[in-house]
Amino acid sequence: MSAPSDLDLLLLAADIADRESMATWRSDELEVEIKPDGSPVSATDQLIERLLRELLAEHRAGDRILGEEAGDTGSGPRCWVLDPIDGTESYVAGRRAWGSLIALEVDGRAVAGMVTMPALGRRWWGTVDGGAWFAAEPGATPQPIEVSSESDIDAMRWSTGPIVDELDGAERDRIARFDGRGRYVAMADWTTYPALMVADGSLDLAVHFGMHWDHAALAGVVVAAGGRFTSDTAPADGGRFAATFTNGRLPD
């Protein structure tokens, strides 16, 4: 039997994450702790990351892994980036706005990404060699997605995650250059993560504030869809930082 491709592993990892997350979603027996930073982590977050690490250890033993829950292990040019449940607060509250983020980087460059949101039944994924895809429900025929062709910054549609009202002063300064340019798309008009809306062409630019594992899978999908991803340097204090996703046609 031939070894699974990187795309095969993305799909296998997504199936594992969906299975385990849905098994305890809205369960009264879900175990939840509070991290030192005040954010929740569930036993399912930890289980999913452990299972994905076991999958990768079996098939990509020489690769580095960076995960939100178990940190950075291994070395080398290939790095899998795992956020077992992004949106744990929503997950433990029984809401639907959460998902698993899985990415592959080579020499620090996003080459593949998977975003699976099983409570909504949706998936987005892509590889630089195979393009980007969206499935609207389990078993649905995947549909190709691609970025928009907009090149006029004054005509662009853009948004941020979190929304502007939830950004701190420094983060608002970070996006000040977009003030008055194009049309800011409010959360009420989001269909998913703003970065994924760049990937499917319904936005032209999105700025996300988060950690490496929050950005990596989104970057993989956007780049696979023909877009561009740039990231600020992670701050020494471990705080969140900006990542910008565009259609690759807007001026820098």
Q: Which fold has domain 6-145?
A: Fructose-1,6-Bisphosphatase; Chain A, domain 1 (3.30.540)
Domain ranges of the chain: 6-145, 157-246
Mean pLDDT for each 10-residue chunk of the chain (252 residues)? 90 98 96 91 97 98 96 96 97 97 97 98 97 96 98 98 93 94 95 97 98 97 98 91 97 86
With beta carbons less than 8 A apart as the criterion, state whether 224 and 127 touch. Answer: yes
- In angstroms, the CA 13 to CA 158 distance is 31
pTM metric for this prediction = 0.96
Indicate if the alpha-carbon torsion angle 54, 59, 62, 64 is positive or negative.
Answer: negative
Task: Could you list the beta-strand ranges (E) of 108-186.
Answer: 109-117, 122-127, 131-135, 143-145, 157-161, 183-184
Please report where in the chains the tokens 């992004």 appear, as a residue: 86
- In angstroms, the CA 174 to CA 167 distance is 10
Non-local CB neighbours of 214 within 8 Å, separated by 6+ positions: 83, 86, 101, 208, 240, 243
Specify the pLDDT at position 252.
82
Non-local CB neighbours of 178 within 8 Å, separated by 6+ positions: 158, 184, 205, 207
**Six-digit token pair at 120?**
């909504």
Specify the pLDDT at position 1.
61
Q: Which fold has domain 157-246?
A: D-Maltodextrin-Binding Protein; domain 2 (3.40.190)
Specify the pLDDT at position 38.
87
Specify the pLDDT at position 172.
96
With beta carbons less than 8 A apart as the criterion, state whether 54 and 188 touch. Answer: no
